[in-house]
Each structure stands twice: as structure tokens, then as C-alpha cells.
Amino acid sequence: MDQVSIPFDEFEHTDAVVPAVPRGVVARWTLTGLRVISLASLWVAIVTAAIVLLSHAVPLIIGGPLPFSVKSAVPLIAIGISYVSLVLTLPRTPGQLLVGILMGLAFVLWGSEQFLKDRALAYFIDDCVVFLFVVDLSLVIRQNFRECAGERRLRKACLPVRKTIKSFNFSAQPSLDEPLIRTLLQGSYVVRRENVLIVGNSGTGKTHLATALGHAACMQGSEVLFITASALVSELVDAYGSRRLRQFHRRLERLDLLIIDDVGYGAFSDMEAQLFFEVLRAGYERRSVVVATTVPLEKWGEIFGSEPVAKAAADRLLDRGHLLKATGESYWKPGRKAVVTPKFRAC
């Protein structure tokens, strides 16, 4: 029943941090009780709604009323109780929980109004129902606007594929700090201008993790760019040769998060190493950087061709950063097609 989809699923972030379901004995019994209430209320709502419908349809057919009648308030109240009870048992974000409770409460109040004899009070309840529906749908509309903006940022980010942490196989990479990664997905490291360095062999999920971090950051309102190291240095060299290097750095300054993948698949020339280092130096404490590399930090001198430059680059990444190491076996499948990342200027 944890997998039940509820209305307003569009209010759910792909990478939203959902509170864990409590696993204590009391918590389990509470969840079971709420689900029983939800299921029972659902059947009450269905049966009474059918009776209400028949009470109006049968007289049209047989020309006489049924010997009993049920107010339409009963199914309204029952379905509201069922919905709130179900929402309380599911792992939901605070926003999703609020939407669910408001929606269920609106139905309960809507039905309760039919039992009131005081018309002034009934009108007040009607106004409360209208208010709850307006607030509820306002939250959903606001979230849809945010997701539209997130989709725009995702297109600009040039992510190779849209992968989230949901499809990452942590059991295949037990060396990774899963709690830390899920904390990073909340995006506070971007706000603090911290970095993430992902080190591991080819096929250990570095690009997947970097992409998931980028996807989450886009949906949280950050401007992101995903680019391979070779594409970045190529753009830097072209910009340097055409005297557009300052303009290129200004474009990078607009970013909240720069993701550089595949660092270490080829050694840099002296110029490339200096230009690459300048990107890290200029972004220090100004934006976050995620770097995915197959080369351990102690061997970065082989990439940069200079131990001092390599040490300075690593220091800037780790001084305000988090180190993730994937030491598990590669799970690349033979014959799997590679994903080509477009260059910065082509996005």
C-alpha cells in the first residue's frame, strides 16, 4: 500500500527528501489502524454514494421513492476521512502532506455542512471549504510553476541523461556514503558554495551521481551546467585563442553549480591545465563544483603535468567540499552505448 499513487502527484519532487516511515511497534500499529480506517471509510463512501445515486434514479424508473434515503454528506465525509487517513500513512514531503490534509478536510467540512440547521454557520462552513480548495490548488499551481522553471533549467544544464538517485544502485557501491549523498541532494551544499569530488573507477556510477545532484539542484532553483573535462578545456582553449576568455568566465559566473565529468581520461597540456585550474580558482567560494574523476587525488599530478598545480586544484575542491569514493566493481554492461555530452556552447 506504500506504492499507492494519490491525487496531486505532480506536487511531488523527483528528488524530494521524504521522511522515513517509522518502524517502531507503536508506529506500525498506528499505521495499520489508519489504513484500516482509510479502507473502511472508502467502502462507506462508495456504498453510500451508490445509494444516493439510486435514490434519485429509481424514482424516475418506478415512479416511487425508495423506502430509505442517505444524504450526500455521508460519502463526502467518508471519502475525506479515507483520504486524510491514507495520506498520513504514506511517506510524504511536508508540502504533499499539507495538500492531502487540506483536500480531505475540505470534503469533510463540505459534507458536515448538510447536517447544520443554522444557515449562517452553514454559509461559514461553505466559505471555509472554498478557502481550503483555493489554498490547496494554489499550492499545486505554485509547484507546477516551479517545475516549469525547473524543466527550463534542466534543458540549459545539458545533463547527458535525466537520472535521479531513485535509480542508483547503492548495494553495488557499498563504499559510498549514502546518508551523505542524500543530504547533498537537499541542495544546502550549493547554498554554502561547497564542492563535491567523486572518485572511482569507470562504471562505478560517478556520472549517475553527478547527474542526480545536477537534476536535484535544477529542481531546487539553481543554475547548473554539466560538461565533460575534455569539452570544458576545448571551450577554454577556443575562448583563449579568440580573446573571449573573459566572456566565457562571465557565463560561468551565472552558474550556481558546475559539474565536470570524466576528469582524468586524458592528461592536460600546460595551457589546458592552467585554464582548467583558473576555472576552479575563479569559482572558489563563489559557486559549487562537482567533479567526477577516475584518478585518485594523489595521482592528479599525472593529469595536470605539475604537482603544485594539481595540489592547488585538489585543495580548492576539498577545502570546502565533500569526497565520495566509489571502490566497488564496475557494472557497465558489454556493448552498452556511451552517452556523448554536448559542448557548453552547443547547449
Q: Residue 268, Cα to own-chain centre: how many angstroms? A: 35
Both 232 and 252 in a single domain? Answer: yes
Range of the domain at 173: 158-346
195 has which bridge partners? 321
Q: What's the pLDDT score for residue 70?
A: 72
Both 135 and 176 in a single domain? Answer: no
Both 201 and 82 in a single domain? Answer: no
Both 217 and 303 in a single domain? Answer: yes
Q: What's the pLDDT score for residue 65?
A: 66
Domain membership of residue 1 (yes or no) is: no
Q: What's the pLDDT score for residue 329?
A: 75
DSSP 12: S
Q: What's the pLDDT score for residue 145?
A: 78
What band does 63 get if pLDDT is binned at 50, 70 and 90?
Answer: low
Grid coordinates standing for 307? 604537482
Cβ contact 219:15 at 8 Å: yes
Q: What is the CATH number of the domain that holds 267?
A: 3.40.50.300
Q: Residue 293: enclosing H or E segment and its boundaries?
A: strand 288-293
Q: Kindly report the length of the chain.
A: 347
Number of domains within the chain: 2
Both 195 and 251 in a single domain? Answer: yes
Single-letter residue type at 107: F
Q: What's the pLDDT score for residue 190?
A: 94
Both 50 and 177 in a single domain? Answer: no
Please, where are the H alpha helices in 266-306?
270-283, 300-304
Both 331 and 191 in a single domain? Answer: yes
Domain membership of residue 2 (yes or no) is: no
Both 236 and 115 in a single domain? Answer: no
Grid coordinates standing for 49? 454514494
Q: 117, 138, 153 — which closes off a domain?
A: 153
Domain membership of residue 4 (yes or no) is: no
Orientation of helix 119-157 relative to helix 94-112, angle to 10°: 160
Domain membership of residue 97 (yes or no) is: yes
User: How many CB atoms are closer than 10 A to CB 41?
Assistant: 22
Domain membership of residue 285 (yes or no) is: yes
What band does 184 get if pLDDT is binned at 50, 70 and 90?
Answer: very high
* Cα gap 266→142, rounded to integer Å: 45
Biggest CA pair distance of the chain: 96
Residue pLDDT, tens place only, 102-147: 888 998 988 888 888 888 888 888 888 888 888 888 887 887 877 7
Domain membership of residue 63 (yes or no) is: yes
Both 221 and 119 in a single domain? Answer: no
Domain membership of residue 315 (yes or no) is: yes
What is the chain's percent helix, strand, coil content, to nearest 5? 60, 10, 30
User: What share of the chain has pLDDT > 90, as a percent?
Assistant: 32
Residue pLDDT, tens place only, 38-48: 999 999 999 98
Grid coordinates standing for 161? 541523461
First to last CA, the chain: 42
Both 336 and 211 in a single domain? Answer: yes
Grid coordinates standing for 258? 558546475
Q: 153, 178, 200 — which closes off a domain?
A: 153
* Cα gap 249→175, rounded to integer Å: 36
Q: 95, 125, 153 — which closes off a domain?
A: 153
Cα atoms found within 13 Å of the Cα of residue 116, Cβ hemisphere only = 14
Domain membership of residue 327 (yes or no) is: yes
Collapsing DSSP to helix, strand or coil, 75 comes out as: helix
Per-residue pLDDT for 337 more than 50?
Answer: no
Both 113 and 39 in a single domain? Answer: yes
Both 237 and 318 in a single domain? Answer: yes
